[in-house]
Structure formats: C-alpha cells, structure tokens
Amino acid sequence: MNGVIAALLWRVAHDVNLRSAFLHMAGDTLSTAAVIVGGAGILLTGKKLDRPRSLARHRAHPLVSLASLRRP
C-alpha cells in the first residue's frame, strides 16, 4: 500500500509537504521490500544471523550483561 501511495504522490510532489510525504512513503516501501527479501532469504537458505560475530565465541547466559564480556 505504501508503494501505491508513493506512486500517487509522485505526480503531485511539487510542494515541500507533499514531497516529504512522498519520500516518507518511498522509504517505507523500500524498507518493507528489504524485510521481505531478507525473510525470503532466510526461508530459502535456512540460515540466519543469531548474534554478531564478535559475540559468537562467547556462550554466556542471555541475562549476562554485555559489559561483563568486555576484555580488560
């Protein structure tokens, strides 16, 4: 729906307010597309990034704070 609204605003986006609304809808459309592509990638490959690589070597309890994982 955001893409449809952005397409409709494209023709009339001469005013700064309408231009802002168009950019907002276009950004929402792109972020939605990125989420869909990411979800499809996870479904097709079965791989997902559970945690950042810097923390992957630590097997800490989920309730342990990240501050305790810092090296002195």
Average pLDDT of the residues in 16-44: 88
Q: How far is residue 58's CA from residue 8's CA, in Å, rounded to a whole number?
A: 50
Better-scored residue on pLDDT, 59 or 8: 8
Residue 4 has pLDDT above 70, yes or no: yes
Specify whether the CB–CB gap between 25 and 13 falls below 8 A. no
pLDDT at residue number 68: 59
pLDDT at residue number 45: 83
Average pLDDT of the residues in 3-22: 83
Residue 18 has pLDDT above 70, yes or no: yes
Q: How far is residue 5's CA from residue 29's CA, in Å, rounded to a whole number?
A: 10
Taking Cα atoms as reference points, which of 45, 48, 46, 71 lies closest to residue 58?
Answer: 71
Q: How far is residue 22's CA from residue 18's CA, in Å, rounded to a whole number?
A: 6
- Percentage of the chain modeled with pLDDT above 70: 65
Indicate the domain borders of the chain: 2-69
